[in-house]
């Protein structure tokens, strides 16, 4: 049975957010790097650095903190498509999360992208997760 790397990323970030930790270490793969780039660009995480330990590469994510409170932002991450049940959508039926405040991460034929980018390019794909 294979590993679901996307679910591992989401669970690691969610657990670190609930424990009010500042950093998270996740395994580095092409899919995780693309998802982390989207999270960084959209402002859900503050910083990313690559770390190599014993022939394995890891990504160390710094979670975004509130200015007036000590804990990180409450980020809701929800896995939609999973290995046992793939969920696909065309560009017209991509859901809008909180009226456009959240993002949908899709795996398309042109790579992993957000819902806004997919609508602009007019392509659909597999809905990986919702984030708000």
Q: Is 53 helix (H, G, I), strand (E, B) or coil?
A: strand
Pure H helices in the chain: 5-18, 30-42, 115-121
Domain that includes residue 32, residue range: 3-66+73-129
For 83, which DSSP code? T
At 71 the pLDDT is 55
The Cα–Cα gap between 96 and 93 comes to 9
CATH code, domain carrying 37: 3.30.1370.30
The Cα–Cα gap between 119 and 10 comes to 24
Q: How many domains does the chain have?
A: 1
At 67 the pLDDT is 58
At 68 the pLDDT is 59
At 66 the pLDDT is 62
Q: Which residues of the chain have pLDDT under 50?
A: none
């Amino acid at each position: 049975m294979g590993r679901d790397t996307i679910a591992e990323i989401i669970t690691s970030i969610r657990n670190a957010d609930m424990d009010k930790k500042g950093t998270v270490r996740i395994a580095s793969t092409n899919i995780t790097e693309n998802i982390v780039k989207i999270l960084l660009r959209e402002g859900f995480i503050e910083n990313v650095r690559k770390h190599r330990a014993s022939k394995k590469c890891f990504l160390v994510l710094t979670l975004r903190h509130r200015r007036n409170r000590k804990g990180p932002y409450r980020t809701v991450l929800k896995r939609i498509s999973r290995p046992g049940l793939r969920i696909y959508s065309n560009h017209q039926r991509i859901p809008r999360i909180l009226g456009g405040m959240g993002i949908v991460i899709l795996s398309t034929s042109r790579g992993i992208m957000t819902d806004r980018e997919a609508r602009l390019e007019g392509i659909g794909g597999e809905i990986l997760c919702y984030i708000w």
